[in-house]
Structure 1
Amino acid sequence: MHKITIMQMLEKYPELPPISQGTVSKIEKQFRKRGHVRQLKKNPPNKLSDDQKLDVTLMLEENPHTSSCQTTSALNISHSPFSAY
């Protein structure tokens, strides 16, 4: 089945490099699992608001040895956007 698919791709799109059997297998697996092969939307990364950034800055100025876990816990913010700050 994969060889037929690869040959069809070569005939339809001769200007493109040949598709590998592994790629066809991945696409087939994705289709069987989800019923489509469209890209899923990724969630945008969480961002700190300007107020939260100010709170973090002030807290770290008061005590520069505060850990990131202590800071995020005290300010009730998620740790992941804090690490990007």
Structure 2
Amino acid sequence: MRFIAQKYYKITAQSAVSSLNQIKRLFQKVNKQLVDGRSYLVGNCFSAADITFACLVAPILTPPEYGGKTLDLDEFPDEMAVVRMVLR
């Protein structure tokens, strides 16, 4: 399955690094938005932006409240475990 995904999405070592850097920048942007103590990404109430971000990052961050199937940290490949800890 990995081979098919890599071929279909044209994943290379270079594109993987580029994508990871984009993800890190996104997390930095969200952190900057929330650093002032606000609770929501947009406006003063829970919105589609909050639920979308939460849904997209939950599988990698695996917060305790996440109800889906997750891997334990020791089940992640070493490189991915490091990325997960950095993003958390």
TM-score (norm 2): 0.28
Q: Which structure carries more relative contact order (alpha carbon 8 Å, separation 6+)?
A: 1
